[in-house]
Structure 1
């Protein structure tokens, strides 16, 4: 893992009620990760707009924040994606929308399209705040996948940088992996034995991954491995919610097809109903 995975952080900015909070969140993260910050505005450039953005950024002037404003005309999704590529953005920050039930957040149509097509990592913010809210608990997927080792490593880097004190690695295991149909007491005992074997196997696999992470990022952090039997995507989202995680870190999907959108699974469950801030690692 690179010692500086996020060289450039980008955020799409519009004149919404959350403008100041979004910029504050992005600026703080840029300083923490020692990254450039690129504000992307879809629309014409004007002195009034520049003055508005600069006035919000004034709070970070003394911190020597490296920031650039990008103004570009076009369709919102295409502009943000093209600007992200042109400016070599490593982490793109997007705001999530709030449902009528104040406990539930979801990704709006524009953010959803960007998330599916982005070639960089994406951070979905559900509750941007002008005042910093301490990140204490990070949950990361530990499913068996070629991308998982990098995702777990980066989750620990992020947790360390944000000052979190706990990381939980969740291994989602489908019931199909048991291959035992519970019909009576005997089959129930066999199923429980099989579950325990899978738990031990998964915990051992995750432990090997964590052992290869620099101790700088794992020291002073309480580490928990949590195997969960259930539907992938939905299970980890539910766990992050009940565990009151401050950040959920997930692998980016390998590819997204029409059928993935029609029959949601894995990351699509997360995008449907965000349990907390979500970092999708590309």
Structure 2
């Protein structure tokens, strides 16, 4: 596990009502993770803009936060992606949009394109705040995938930095794995036996991953392993919402093919309706 997976945090900044809250969230996270911060503004540079950004950043600059402000005109998606690559940003913060008259959040078209194309990790914020709202419960995917080990390790690193005391590792299992047609009491018992075997298998696999993480990151955290049966992405998103998680951590999606665009895969369910803040580990 890399002891420091994030070295540079980036955030796109526009003069929206959430400007101060977005900058405070990014700057605060940079200080807690001990990284440098890059603000990316899509537009021309001016003294007035620069002064406004620096005025908001003042309390963090006084606390020795290393900050760079980048001004660049062009297509927002291309500007943010190219800047992320040029400045070696490894965690990019994006804001979610709220549906009118509903307490539901989704990823807008620009943020969605960036999320799909970015080569770095992405943090999607649903309700940025000037005052810090402590993160107390992280839900992280534990599905069987080559990326999962690194994602779980990153979850413990983030939990340690943010002083989070509870992590739930959710192993999403496809209902197809049960492969038992319930028609009577006997087949119901068989289905339950198969279910329990799958749960034991999944819990053992996740336990082995946790054992490889240094004790420094695991000793003060309440760890729960939760196998759930259902559709990938939708199931974990629903669980994170019901469990009132403050942060959901997911693997980055694999390269999308034609069929993925027609039929949404796991991460697309999350982007359509964000259950909470979401961190996608690249």
TM-score category (smaller protein): over 0.9
Alignment of 1:239-278 (within 5 A): 239-278=239-278
Residue 186 (str. 1) matches residue 186 (str. 2):
yes
String of CA shifts for 1:106-151, please: whole Å, max 9, x gaps.
Answer: 0000000000000000000001000000000000000000000000
Give the whole-Å Cα distance in 2 for the aligned partners of 1:103 and 1:230: 25
TM-score (norm 2): 0.98
Alignment of 1:55-204 (within 5 A): 55-204=55-204
What SS does the corresponding residue of 1:63 show, helix, strand or coil? Answer: coil
Give the whole-Å Cα distance in 2 for the aligned partners of 1:176 and 1:269: 19
Task: Name the residue aligned to 2:31.
Answer: 31
1:8–1:90: 8 Å Cα contact kept in structure 2?
Answer: yes
Give the whole-Å Cα distance in 1 for the aligned partners of 2:2 and 2:10: 19
1:261 CA displacement: 2.9
1:185 CA displacement: 1.6
RMSD over aligned Cα atoms: 0.8
What SS does the corresponding residue of 2:62 show, helix, strand or coil? Answer: helix
1:241–1:276: 8 Å Cα contact kept in structure 2?
Answer: yes
1:51 CA displacement: 0.7
Give the whole-Å Cα distance in 2 for the aligned partners of 1:182 and 1:22: 51
Give the whole-Å Cα distance in 2 for the aligned partners of 1:266 and 1:138: 18
Unaligned runs of 5+ in 2: none
1:209 CA displacement: 0.3
Task: Name the residue aligned to 1:232.
Answer: 232
TM-score (norm 1): 0.98
Give the whole-Å Cα distance in 1 for the aligned partners of 2:257 and 2:93: 23
